[in-house]
Structure 1
Amino acid sequence: MVASSKDSEKQDSMNHSTEVSYEGSCHCRPVGFSTRLPSPLPHLTVISCNCSYCHIADSLLAFVDDMEIHQGTESLKEYRFGSHTIQIFFCGICGANVYNKSVNPKFRFGQCAINMRLLHGIDLGTVEVSKGDGKNIHLPPLEEDPL
């Protein structure tokens, strides 16, 4: 498959992008976090997943290399469904989906996906949102009981 000139331009500009730190929080604000994202933001891959959870939560997810919860870890609750290999962390007070983390060695192990809707000062109209087909991903269950 040959990359289009638009793909080549995006890849070339990604090589020259810088990173910017962003702060975020849940809706009621006890959970606060920060992350670094490429700037300008159109270089970031943002996913609208159609799995049963993300569809209902209306999360827009972006995988990040670093994320720090700097307040409210005690307010975070964990939920897992299906294969139990994706940890979903949400605020136990307002219910906002803060981030997801894979514990599946066969699918993005250890990576975190933050909910872009919770970042402060982000114009989501400037990012390209890709559709993710989580509804049809069948992750193998963990060999050990994860809970």
Structure 2
Amino acid sequence: MHYTGTCHCGAVAFAFDAELDELVRCDCSLCGKRNALMATVPKGNFRLTRGDQALRLYRWNSGVALHYFCGTCGIYVYHQRRSYPALLSVNACCIDGFDPESLPLRRVDGRSMTTVAAPDQ
């Protein structure tokens, strides 16, 4: 199925093709604070249609996962996963006309994921 979406202010827009069968909620320290419902999308099926310059990148822990948010409105848009870099997690609440309650929710125990100590620790 084809989907489109934007951040809150519209500066960032995207499109992707995927069959969504569930949403994911992670409770790691980052996901727990942003409280996002994430849709899993193959990286090759996702494209930015507007706003590459508006995106800001946030890295933490190992620095492998790439978390993108809009630099204007601050909305988390998507991230490239650390454990499965061929997959993106897209903020389902940013998908146009999509009802997040239409799919089952899978909870991920991110709190138990390993963290990487800072180099000076």
User: Structure 2 unaligned runs (5+)?
Assistant: none
RMSD, matched Cα: 1.8
Is 2:112 the partner of 1:136? Answer: yes
Question: 1:112 aligned to 2:88?
Answer: yes
Aligned residue type for 2:113: I
Percent sequence identity over aligned pairs? 28
Residues 43-76 of structure 1 deviation map (CA, whole Å, 9 limit, x = unaligned): x121011011111111111221211101000000
SS of the residue corresponding to residue 59 of structure 1 reads: coil
2:38–2:89 Cα contact (<8 Å) kept: yes
User: Larger Cα Rg: Structure 1 or Structure 2?
Assistant: 1
TM-score (ref. length: structure 1): 0.73
Which ranges of 4 or more aligned residues in structure 1 deviate by more than 4 Å? none
* Higher RCO (C-alpha under 8 Å, 6+ residues apart): 2
2:2 match: 21
What residue number does 2:41 align with? 64
TM-score by length of 2: 0.87
2:17 is aligned to 36
In the alignment of these two chains, the number of paired residues is: 116
